[in-house]
Structure 1
Amino acid sequence: MLVSRKAAGTLFVGGALGMTLGSLFYPAMLGVQKVSSAPERVVATPATGPLTEADRDFVVKVRSAGLWEYPVGQRASTKGTTKAVRSAGEQLVAGDASLDAACRDVASQLGIALPDQPSPQQQGFESRLNKENGKQFDTDLATTVRATNGQFLTTIASVRTTTRNSLVRALADQANATVLDHITAVEKTGLVDFGQALAQETASPNLPAQDLTPPPAVAGQPQVVLTPPANSTASQSPGVG
């Protein structure tokens, strides 16, 4: 059973946190810090190629990134004060929905447990932007999305060049195209504070591990789905799905 991100708000409060039985646990740390002390350790050997801790962590990161960026994009598409900001919001929504579908498919094939909430740090991004309006919202959206996507490019490149799993390679290819599209979209708004964005990309978060880790999905709850817009033309990359 699946539930849309828009309808999933009630799933994010309360309840015991559980992990899907038989799925590969994701690690205790995500974000800009190293996610594992042994990223090259093979955790499974499916027909699509050996799966390492870094591969597994990457799939979880793709999911987590979309879970905070998608609702922010929805807000930007309707409340942005300029056409460029609204257009960027639409691109975030379409791109995140398509990438999320590919991510869920890959995770299902590889037995990777996915979260239904972003990390507390990412929830903080969303919460801050939800409280802002007008030009402040536009500028903060553009800068935050530019910083987080710029940072994610490094992770994508690392995984794409080291993974031996064909499904993870295909997901990395789609993630790379999506992230570059999002970066271009927010840069076109003319509102990115590049000094701040670059500082955020390179600075250590100085947060405890639990703030950088998306919580496990609640056992028995339907999986959250990022629903594509009706007019979306985004599609999955060949080799995913």
Structure 2
Amino acid sequence: MLTRLAQVVTALAILCSLAAPQAAAQPEFGPEYTQTQFGPMGPAGRDMLVKVRLAGLWEGPAGRLGLEKSANPLVKEAGRHLISGHAELDAKVLELGRTLNVPLPSDSNADQKGWIAEMTNAPAGSAEFDRVFANRLRAAHGGVYKFLAVVRTGTRNTLIRDFAKRCMEVVLDHIQVLEATGMVDFTDTEAIPLAALAAAPVGPAPVPAVPPAVPTVPRTQNIAQENGSGGSDAILGVLVMVAVVGGIYLWTGGRPRRSRSSRE
């Protein structure tokens, strides 16, 4: 009897394993990804390291120009933040480039050289220098901050995620000290495109004349998923009942109990 019971339990276990939903397969990454011990390294992570390196190549020198040429103490303070912040990020990005095998630039690009030239050519101690300094750097930091947020939320590489977080902290600090100079022109919608959107009046949303049709495909998909889940639960419930009945049957020897009158 115990042997028969063991056979029923084994068969039930096999059926349960077949009825249980299979684990989701791990995602496959394309050829542009490389596997590392810190997680997959993709194009966005490599692009982030390159952009942070490029930022340090011109924003550190720009900070030194702020200290040397501005008569505004708030601009000088912003320059100090730029120098210290990018010194930290530059050392870290070079380390990560070696660790993750990402080649990094050694010179700033043409646009960055042009911005440095603007600051160099502006008269020392002038409001013109302070405006160029604050607005060029504020626009650059705003674009980088949005890019870092996208990388931070999407990467599966722990080194890139942690570095993106630190970069966002440093870049936000630089944005704040640049804005504190009072020289940032928020009406320059080319440099700060969200300024126009923020200034636009907010009115009531228009009511459509014809209500949009309710899509049916997602609901059908949900129903199919619910039915699939419910079907698996029902199968498991039936198997449990079979196991209980089979156990009782085998425990009693598979024979009906005789009444007392028949035994007499």
Q: TM-score, normalised by structure 1?
A: 0.65
What is the deviation of 1:128? 1.3
- Residue matched to 1:106: 96
2:73 pairs with 1:93: no
2:164 pairs with 1:164: no
- Residue matched to 1:155: 147
**Map of 1:137-148 to 2, 5 A cutoff?**
137-148=129-140
Q: Which runs of 4+ in 1 moved over 3 A?
A: none
**Map of 1:20-169 to 2, 5 A cutoff?**
42-133=32-123, 134-169=126-161
* Letter in structure 2 aligned against 1:179: V
In 2, the alpha carbon distance for the partners of 1:191 and 1:201 equals 14
Shift in CA distance, 168/148, structure 1 to aligned 2, threshold 3 Å: same
What is the deviation of 1:201? 4.1
For the pair shown, the structure with the greater C-alpha radius of gyration is 2
1:200 corresponds, among 191, 211, 227, to 191
What is the deviation of 1:195? 1.5
**Structure with the bigger percentage of helix:** 2
Gapped regions of structure 2 (runs ≥ 5):
1-29, 195-264
Could you give the per-residue CA deviations for residues 158-210 of structure 1, whole angstroms, max 9, x where no partner exists?
Answer: 100111111111110111011101001111111111122x422449xxxxxxx
Q: Which has the higher contact order (CA 8 A, sep 6+)?
A: 1
Aligned residues: CA RMSD: 1.8
Aligned residues: 164
Q: TM-score, normalised by structure 2?
A: 0.59
In 2, the alpha carbon distance for the partners of 1:164 and 1:63 equals 21
In 2, the alpha carbon distance for the partners of 1:189 and 1:201 equals 16
Please tell me whether the aligned partners of residues 65 and 119 of structure 2 are also in contact (alpha carbons under 8 angstroms). Answer: no
Please tell me whether the aligned partners of residues 72 and 130 of structure 1 are also in contact (alpha carbons under 8 angstroms). Answer: no
3-state SS in 1 of match to 2:104 = coil
* Letter in structure 1 aligned against 2:144: F
3-state SS in 2 of match to 1:50 = strand
Please tell me whether the aligned partners of residues 42 and 50 of structure 1 are also in contact (alpha carbons under 8 angstroms). Answer: no
